[in-house]
Amino acid sequence: MFVPREEQNGAILIVDDDQSLREFLEIFFAKEGFRVFTAGDGEEALKLLEKTSVDLVLADIRMPKVDGLKFLKLLRRKGFELPIIMITAYASLDSAVEAKKEGAFDYVSKPFKLDELRALVNKALQKKEKISSPKDYEFMGLIGRSPAMQRVFEMLPRVAAVPSNVLITGESGTGKELVARAIHQLSARKDRPFIVVNCGGIPPNLLESELFGYKTGAFTGATKEKPGLFALAHKGTIFLDEVGELPPELQVKLLRVVQEKSFLPLGATSEVKTDVRIISATNRDLEKEVLEGRFREDLFYRLNVISINLPPLRERREDIPLLVEHFLRKYAQKLGKKIEGISDFALKALMEYDFPGNVRELENIIERSVALETGPLILPESLTLSHLKSRRFKTSKEGPSFEISLPEGGIDLEALLNQIEVSLLKQALERTNGNKTEAAKLLGLNFRSFRYRLAKYRLS
């Protein structure tokens, strides 16, 4: 990377398998006041973009491994919205159309004039002034622009770099396991096992044998030796989810593992040494549990060397639009649905909801909405929020109203209007218990017009 003396225009990534061209453009744009990064192919560029934020990409179309067009498609699929200018010596109408279709800002062919390229880059940056990559708000599967989540993002690499035990606190559904996995993946143990133990999901009489294993003949039915989860996690990380659910007798045994780095399998006469990092999580107030005698104080302090708290979604509402967009993309692709976005009124309803199930509940709501929606936008009727029943539309003397933002790529207005009409017809019939005459009155229609609409959508 060549760093100019006076950086003022942001960062550019140059992706080209021609080293001499890369170096030439690197020097040119550095002198123009840009911070410049380079990559020899699309695969290298994708890895760089995972950890580095840039404002614009210049990419060749013909490259080894991952070529320019495939690289462009992968960027869009991963959610990067930064402007991309394609460069090629093999100019053709087909490749130009394909690049534009996949979201390239523009397309230039070699040999090109530096003045023209400079003007094109400036135009791209002016049209979309320094777009932030979604990666600025996403880290290791966690998503959030709120100060609380940004602090977590900043903390994770530092926590991963040390071997200390970690206690993650937060309500159910806030993403505690994602944080634990991120710490493991960022640590020196990333190539070793990551073992998850649901302390509240395993019956207490089985939990000891699950954690520490047993020898043949240790109890009736133990016909074969079984290694425990601590043995399987050797050299890696063990994640004790809902550690507050551990019964007192197992708290004692866990304390010995933490202190002595060894455990005794059921039926064994000698202890087994283990090298594991312990990450625990709880939705309980463990300090209160300690004061009330339900959790060992010495174990609490051994597990809580480093503490990370995840706030509930209702305390970081600014993250809801980002999460909605993420889950919409995820489930539209997974379910093969053409969903272009969410209506302003539906998003407003989500912003006002308290989400007792936190991010997990939001994900379930969006998955269900995508599965049931028949039109291009998620409307309030598809959301499973009880408080929406009496607040679907704002009413005034002029009648009901609600707002929908027009997506950048446009919308199928006819399909959307049909979708809204079908929804209101169904609601009118439900409210009148199937009485078509009364339903027609609710919608301000005469009976003949109402019956025509029912037939049109095959609702009768």
- In order along the chain (460 residues), what is the average pLDDT of each group of 10 residues? 48 90 90 89 84 83 80 72 79 64 78 86 74 65 88 93 95 95 95 94 86 81 84 95 93 93 85 94 94 95 96 91 92 89 84 91 93 85 59 44 57 74 84 84 84 79
Classify residue 421 by burial, with Cβ atoms within 10 Å: 0-12, 13-18, 19+.
middle
Decide if 173 contacts 312 (C-beta within 8 A). Answer: no
Going from the C-alpha of 428 to that of each of 171, 439, 441, 459, the distances in angstroms are 39, 5, 9, 12
| CATH pick for 314-403 out of 1.10.260.40, 3.40.50.720, 1.10.8.60, 3.50.50.60 | 1.10.8.60
What stretch(es) of the chain map to CATH 3.40.50.300? 146-309
Gap between the Cα atoms of 157 and 42, Å rounded: 26
What pLDDT, on the 0 to 100 scale, is given for residue 3? 39
Coil, strand, or helix at residue 167?
strand
Decide if 33 contacts 76 (C-beta within 8 A). Answer: no
What pLDDT, on the 0 to 100 scale, is given for residue 391? 38
Which of 40, 74, 37 has the alpha carbon at shortest distance from 57? Answer: 37
Gap between the Cα atoms of 208 and 229, Å rounded: 10
| Structure tokens that stand for 169 in this block | 């606190």
Decide if 59 contacts 71 (C-beta within 8 A). Answer: yes
Angle, helix 42-51 to helix 68-77, in steps of 10 degrees: 30
| Structure tokens that stand for 300 in this block | 């609490």
Gap between the Cα atoms of 30 and 87, Å rounded: 19
Decide if 3 contacts 30 (C-beta within 8 A). Answer: yes
Q: For domain 11-135, give the fold.
A: Rossmann fold (3.40.50)
Phi, psi of 85 (to 5 degrees): -110, 125
Cβ partners under 8 Å of residue 41, min gap 6: 15, 17, 63, 64, 65, 66
Classify residue 243 by burial, with Cβ atoms within 10 Å: 0-12, 13-18, 19+.
buried
Decide if 402 contacts 344 (C-beta within 8 A). Answer: yes
| CATH pick for 412-460 out of 3.30.1130.10, 1.10.10.60, 3.10.290.10, 2.60.40.10 | 1.10.10.60
What pLDDT, on the 0 to 100 scale, is given for residue 8? 53
Q: For domain 146-309, give the fold.
A: Rossmann fold (3.40.50)
- The DSSP-derived string for 393-445 is SB--TT--B---PPPTT---HHHHHHHHHHHHHHHHHHHTTT-HHHHHHHTT-
What pLDDT, on the 0 to 100 scale, is given for residue 303? 96
What stretch(es) of the chain map to CATH 1.10.8.60? 314-403
Q: How far apart are the first and last CA of the chain?
A: 67
What pLDDT, on the 0 to 100 scale, is given for residue 218? 72
Which of 55, 9, 51, 52 has the alpha carbon at shortest distance from 29? Answer: 9
What stretch(es) of the chain map to CATH 1.10.10.60? 412-460
| Distance, CA of 457 to chain centre | 37
What stretch(es) of the chain map to CATH 3.40.50.2300? 11-135
